[in-house]
């Protein structure tokens, strides 16, 4: 347990500074096995994009944790933001709290990591605002208790991921512009990974296989069979550029050579679908804020 330091309430970061919680893409996703406890062995490639949620956090001198701005169905005590704050407070032993306002932009149930990113940003921001001094690798270990995707958001580097998705190797890959579409449906990750028809024996691959175009998403056939709207979005986007599904969906994405090309296609997207034009990032916008602070 780290010794608590006094919170510097006069710090500029303590006055509602917006901490970014960027979305991520799974550029591919292979299921390579299943453990006896039901968890799945994976290989995937994470890359951030330069859009996402943001958290405005003001530390408190008492132990009260207040969250506002979360969607109604995510606003309870089980919200990953509150769980992350409680976990960090327990690990450090500090008798402190915070007021957290979430500005939600990442579609819920879209496979873009919104909840995990919010949790990671909470850990990183409160570590700074509560003056705890945890290094990133220790915050990442804490984050793993909240979800397999949380460590990559804490570490903030595009990464080749294995095991449950937490064994990370930083990579430096192209950073194209993406058009990301999310039809009006929320996909249950637990449902897709629990599906009996999901392939669970994909041979292991290397980064060179991805770069050669030999990787795909094992969850796509399962999601498309159960959520036809995702299939419609994928088919539509495939007419304009090679498209893939992120994670278990519902979001699909395609890469473009420049921002103008992505926006040109975005203007044609059916109005009922959520669309984002974003730049791929090998370094998370969250790390850029930490550097500037």
| Binding region for ATP | 107-117
In this structure, the dihedral spanned by the alpha carbons of residues 266, 267, 271 and 277, taken in order and rounded to 10 degrees, is 30
Q: Which residues pair with 244 in a beta bridge?
A: 253
Q: Which of 53, 118, 149, 218 is catalytic?
A: 149
Strand, coil or helix: 164: coil
172 tagged catalytic: no
| Under 8 Å between Cβ of 200 and 38 | no
- Rg of the Cα atoms in the chain: 19
User: Cβ of 224: how many Cβ atoms within 10 Å?
Assistant: 18
For 71, phi then psi, to 5°, come to -55, 150
133 Rama class: left (phi>0) / alpha (psi -120 to 50) / beta: left
Q: Is 150 helix (H, G, I), strand (E, B) or coil?
A: helix
> Residues comprising the binding site?
107-117
Residue 66 among the catalytic residues: no
User: Considering 24, 53, 118, 218, which one is annotated as catalytic?
Assistant: 24
Cα dist. 189→92, 220, 236, 257 in Å?
Answer: 31, 12, 23, 31
Task: Answer for the pair 92, 130: CB distance below 8 angstroms, yes or no.
Answer: yes
Which residues are catalytically annotated?
24, 149
């Amino acid at each position: 347990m780290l010794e608590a330091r006094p919170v510097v309430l006069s710090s500029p970061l303590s006055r509602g500074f917006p901490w970014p919680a960027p979305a991520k893409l799974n550029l591919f996703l292979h299921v390579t096995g299943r453990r006896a406890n039901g968890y799945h062995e994976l290989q995937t490639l994470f890359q951030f994009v330069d859009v996402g949620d943001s958290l405005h956090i003001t530390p408190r001198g008492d132990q009260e944790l207040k969250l506002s701005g979360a969607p109604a169905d995510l606003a309870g005590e089980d919200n990953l933001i509150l769980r992350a704050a409680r976990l960090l407070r327990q690990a450090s032993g500090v008798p402190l709290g915070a007021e957290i306002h979430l500005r939600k932009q990442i579609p819920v149930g879209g496979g873009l990591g919104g909840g995990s990113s919010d949790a990671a940003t909470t850990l990183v921001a409160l570590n700074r605002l509560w003056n705890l001094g945890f290094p990133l690798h220790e915050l990442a270990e804490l984050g793993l208790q909240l979800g397999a995707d949380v460590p990559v958001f804490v570490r903030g580097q595009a990464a080749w991921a294995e095991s449950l998705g937490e064994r990370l190797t930083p990579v430096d890959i192209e950073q194209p512009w993406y058009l990301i579409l999310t039809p009006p449906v929320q996909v249950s990750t637990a449902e897709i990974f629990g599906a009996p028809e999901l392939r669970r024996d994909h041979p292991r691959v290397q980064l060179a296989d991805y770069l050669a175009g030999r990787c795909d998403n094992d969850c796509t056939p399962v999601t498309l069979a159960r959520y036809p709207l995702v299939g419609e979005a994928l088919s539509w986007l495939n007419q304009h550029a090679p498209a893939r599904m992120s994670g278990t969906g519902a979001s699909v994405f395609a890469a473009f050579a420049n921002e103008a090309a992505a926006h040109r296609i975005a203007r044609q997207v059916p109005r009922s679908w959520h669309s984002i034009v974003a730049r791929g990032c090998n370094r998370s916008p969250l790390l850029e804020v930490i550097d500037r602070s």
